[in-house]
Structure 1
Amino acid sequence: MDTVSPDPSISPAELAARLGRADAPLVLDVRRAAAFAAGDRLVAGTQRCDPVDLPAFAREHAPREAVVYCVYGHEVSRDAAQALRDAGWNARYLAGGFEGGQDGVDAPQDIVRWRSKAPPRLRKRPDLGVTGERPSRWITRARPKIDRAACPWLIRRFIDPGAQFFYVPEDQVFGQARQLGAVAFDIEGAPISHEWERCSFDALLRAFELQAPGLDTLAAIVRGADTSRPALAPQSAGLLALSLGLSRLHAQDDQAMRAAAEPLYDALYEWCRAGQDERHSWQAHAVAAA
């Protein structure tokens, strides 16, 4: 179990730096029902929990690190964080809440700071099963290689951490989608698929109006690998090779291939987000010491 932090709040900048990582905290939207229903956006990677349901939620789930947010970061999220902490969770509330503070109530300098460093958000898409209220379901063709592994990574890390994925023979995708209540992706005619020179990864970013540091760079790498255009990014050829290798290693288990690809995309995203300035120090053809 994580050690409970003595600081009950987290700044928007701190949360933004954690989102999209494998070790990101659980993010809970605890806005009251009317406020939640009125909004069409979520903090990226959010799960919905009505504040009245929080005690039951805390009992039914193993304690872990969590961040809760309400509209302005006042009593609703502070009480929610305290309830989780009382149950043994390492829980904090988002300073300034979803709106980045309340004009006329919070200090102007705090509001400016909170709103300038807001964590990434995404558009709710009830038509794609993504509102934060329940796990979404996605289905695509069997034998994933690039897009069909990259898209689940993007969904799990930024759109819906509880999403479920299904891989089936190509001629069964749409029939199984209807039976399972799943959204088809990366197949012609699906709501999320290739559009001209852009791939399904790009389509997800556009569908959810999702922007986060490094995602555009990663999208170009995926696009180059998935559409046979390695010149789009120097890393595309490497991603293609690694993806084909993973597909061969897990030829009989598509879920295992998807899971094996997650650390690959975690590493690529970390490089895209914060590692591009780092250089390897080995010098070729260095003169040997006498």
Structure 2
Amino acid sequence: MDTSNIPHAFVSPDTLAARIGRADAPLLLDVRREAAFAASARMLAGALRCKPEEVAALAAAGPPRDVVVYCAQGHEVSAGAVATLRAAGWHAQALAGGIEGGEDGVDSPQDLAMWRASALPSMKKRPDWGVPGAQPSRWITRERPKIDRIACPWLIRRFIDPRAEFFYVPTATVFSEAARLHAVAYDIPGAPVSHEGAWCSFDVLLRAFEIEDPALDRLARIVRGADTDDLALEPQCAGLLAFSLGLSRLHTDDHAMLEAAMPLYDALYAWCASEAVAAWQGTAAESHNWTPATMAGTRA
């Protein structure tokens, strides 16, 4: 399909990479044809599966929103999905080059090099845990969360399944409720996701989905130090511990605490991302200090 008459129909991998994992990230749809989707072990981080033939139904099912679609190589499947979504009033774009970064012998060498130079965060599919699934994945853990049991839902919502559902229950009922609700238990001994050696549940979850992101690696160290009382691991560990304990005291409802903590983790991830960029560029990380000389003004 010719998309030349659709303004801003494509988004570059660089631009999309900067938005994945953020609270204001667009809805990300994997619209690969079934054969291509089934043959691949991976999806882009935070993407939802939507078969090409189901795009129109999705567009009609909810209010229009910001969405990025991708297919295998960024050609007619993505273009068709964009046209369908835009016709329904959505602000839709396609990922240039698709998940594979274009097609050799079809796309220009310049485009191929540009698209493939940007490593978009991706995740391993885990159908055994309901990712991706026709319904939102379900996760369950002990009540009264502090750190890991909040950090893990943040990671799942932002990078694994934005529709995910979370349950907090008494410790003694975690596994029976997990069976009843068809939910994945986490952060309790014997669960599919729990502490392993020095790793906390956040580390294990990150590795179970094989998500590679320097900013998430830094955040994982902060979470690990705060959750295991190894506060010397990163300077920010003590701060995360203090905020987490304070939030627990402010909120008696576990889901209310999760919602209150989401912006905290968003901000911490944004800081980790900026630190990773500074390290990659070899520039000084941002700091803050008191510089009265730059604040000169006229006193009233």
TM above 0.5, one fold?
yes
The unaligned stretches of length 5 or more in structure 1 are none
Equivalent residue for 1:264? Answer: 264
DSSP 3-state at the match of 2:7: coil
Shift of 1:6: 3.0
Matches for 1:47-196 after TM superposition, within 5 Å: 47-131=48-132, 133-196=134-197
Runs of 4+ in 1 over 6 A off after TM superposition: none
Deviations 1:41-86 (A, max 9, x none): 0000001111101111100011000000001000000110111011
1:282 to 278, 285, 290: 290
Measure, in 2, the Cα distance between the counterparts of 1:6 and 1:52: 24
Measure, in 2, the Cα distance between the counterparts of 1:76 and 1:118: 22
The unaligned stretches of length 5 or more in structure 2 are 1-5, 279-284
Shift of 1:132: 5.0
Contact 2:146–2:244 at 8 Å: present in 1 too? yes
Shift of 1:134: 2.9
Measure, in 2, the Cα distance between the counterparts of 1:213 and 1:110: 25
Shift of 1:121: 0.4
DSSP 3-state at the match of 2:98: coil
| 2:203 is the counterpart of 1:202 | yes
One-letter amino acid of the counterpart of residue 190, structure 2: G
TM-score, normalising length from structure 2? Answer: 0.91
Shift of 1:25: 0.2
Shift of 1:92: 0.1
Contact 2:186–2:201 at 8 Å: present in 1 too? yes
Contact 2:144–2:248 at 8 Å: present in 1 too? yes
DSSP 3-state at the match of 1:232: coil
Deviations 1:100-153 (A, max 9, x none): 000111011111111110311000011111125431000000001000000000
| 2:236 is the counterpart of 1:228 | no
DSSP 3-state at the match of 1:230: coil
Deviations 1:182-219 (A, max 9, x none): 00000000000100111000001110000124111100
Measure, in 1, the Cα distance between the counterparts of 2:194 and 2:264: 22
Contact 1:123–1:210 at 8 Å: present in 2 too? yes
Equivalent residue for 2:39? Answer: 38
Count of aligned pairs between the two proteins:
283
TM-score, normalising length from structure 1? Answer: 0.94
One-letter amino acid of the counterpart of residue 124, structure 1: K
Measure, in 2, the Cα distance between the counterparts of 1:133 and 1:102: 29
Equivalent residue for 1:243? Answer: 244
Measure, in 2, the Cα distance between the counterparts of 1:110 and 1:64: 28
Measure, in 1, the Cα distance between the counterparts of 2:129 and 2:228: 25
Shift of 1:281: 3.1
Contact 2:127–2:133 at 8 Å: present in 1 too? no
Measure, in 1, the Cα distance between the counterparts of 2:100 and 2:135: 23
One-letter amino acid of the counterpart of residue 172, structure 2: D
Cα RMSD after superposing both structures: 1.8
Measure, in 1, the Cα distance between the counterparts of 2:153 and 2:178: 16
Measure, in 1, the Cα distance between the counterparts of 2:133 and 2:110: 31
Measure, in 2, the Cα distance between the counterparts of 1:10 and 1:167: 38
DSSP 3-state at the match of 1:93: strand
One-letter amino acid of the counterpart of residue 223, structure 1: R
Measure, in 1, the Cα distance between the counterparts of 2:45 and 2:66: 16
Measure, in 2, the Cα distance between the counterparts of 1:161 and 1:213: 21
Measure, in 2, the Cα distance between the counterparts of 1:234 and 1:132: 38
Contact 1:13–1:117 at 8 Å: present in 2 too? yes
Measure, in 1, the Cα distance between the counterparts of 2:33 and 2:134: 13
User: What percentage of aligned pairs have identical amino acids?
Assistant: 63
